[in-house]
Chain A
């Protein structure tokens, strides 16, 4: 699947909004841990990954959860996964 960085970011943000509809991304620091900023617990995180899988077809293994800490880092990681496949 060919997606540019902005499209990946939008897919990620839409997936987060699906579980945290009140999230205000204007106030989210993209270089800080996003789960702390938006109160996303492990169940929410799993749900976000399910939405992401539906939207962009990337399956994030548990061993890569550590690469999805910040918003920017998550987008980097997802773009890498998409270009590798």
Chain B
């Protein structure tokens, strides 16, 4: 069971997407695990052949426990599968692998609440997807079911618990320092509007994408803001994997990673951001997105406030806050002109960096936003 965030202790296994004997590539989604932050598609981190599937549906599995055996190149998967007693597990017979169940996150939750086995539900939805009505219909048709031992998971409460645990740890352990600066984004916004005017709606970029690109490039100047503080030392991130704070309808938030943002073109970045936001809100994130962020960016956007000072997600060491843009008087060459401006803030870990370096980051962010052509 992979750790999908510092605050995760265990996950509830949902289903396998693969079967024994199947070859898998690194990064392939092989199963689904339910966490406090929703269902996550778990990617395998090594290539090989699935030998034995150990985790079974509904099982609560601590982080670090074996879920499956994989044969690497040159190994015989059947021999590995046949090895007896190597595992601290009840080792149920490998299930006949069902095809992936198509189901909405809401229907999956409802099924968990009602204790309905998804394998017994007949889908009626689009493309064979199981709807809430199907789940409830199945429940109604089931005579006096065994009450599940555990209480039905309350998604809202579970997510609130996860946020509380991570933020409490952050405020207990991380000596935050906070910096803020006001950035004139008139040039960058004007440039983006001109770019977007020539494009169909589907290819327009949001200013948030421009901000993310600028943050990723600015981090090259101050790599000590990008990475993790673990076991008393700083470990730099292996790329600019920006955690994008996404607030969920109905409450709660997740901050999944966009990978290698500094290397993406604005068009690719926007496409990936749209995909990520859709999946975050639909409860279909991947394990690497949950585990990889090296820094978080929170953008309260046009509905938010002018300034946001964020709380760092441990074990990360910094969080960038972008406020709502507004038109303010700005002085250029002794003349007052109206300009669109925003507050950019940095919350950073004093165990790793100092205010001078943090200030350097914000100054670099400002500089980059004055040359928007270079952010394309």
**What is A's interface to B at a CB cutoff of 8 Å?**
20, 22, 35-36, 39-43, 46-47, 49-50, 53, 59-63
Contacts and interface: CB of A to CB of B under 8 A. Distances in A.
A70 B204 CA distance: 22
A47 to B, nearest CB: 8
Given A39-B249, A50-B202, 6 more contacts: A22-B250, A42-B301, A43-B208, A46-B201, A47-B274, A62-B197
B109 to A, nearest CB: 14
B29 interface: no
Interface string B234-275: 000000000000000110000000000000000000000110
Given A43-B277, A46-B206, A59 B302 contact: no
Given A22-B250, A35-B303, A43-B206, A63 B201 contact: no
Interface of B: 193, 196-197, 200-202, 204, 206-208, 249-250, 273-274, 277, 301-303
A62 to B, nearest CB: 5
B323 to A, nearest CB: 14
Given A22-B249, A62-B193, A41 B201 contact: no
A62 B207 CA distance: 12
A60 B201 contact: yes
Contacts of A22: 249-250
Interface of A (DSSP majority class): helix
A50 B179 CA distance: 38
A63 B197 CA distance: 8
Nearest to A53: B201
Contacts of B204: 46, 62
Contacts of B202: 50
20 contacts: A20-B249, A22-B249, A36-B303, A39-B303, A41-B301, A41-B303, A42-B206, A42-B207, A42-B301, A43-B206, A43-B208, A43-B273, A43-B274, A43-B277, A49-B201, A50-B201, A50-B202, A53-B201, A62-B196, A63-B193
A49 B197 CA distance: 14
Contacts, number: 39
B103 to A, nearest CB: 16
Name which of B197, B207, B249 has the most chain A CB atoms within 10 A of its CB. Answer: B249
Contact of A41 (B196, B200, B302): B302
A62 B277 CA distance: 21
A59 B303 contact: no
A32 B120 CA distance: 47
A40 to B, nearest CB: 8
A34 to B, nearest CB: 12
A60 B201 CA distance: 8
Name which of B201, B208, B249, B277 has the most chain A CB atoms within 10 A of its CB. Answer: B201
Contacts of A46: 201, 204, 206
A42 B302 contact: yes
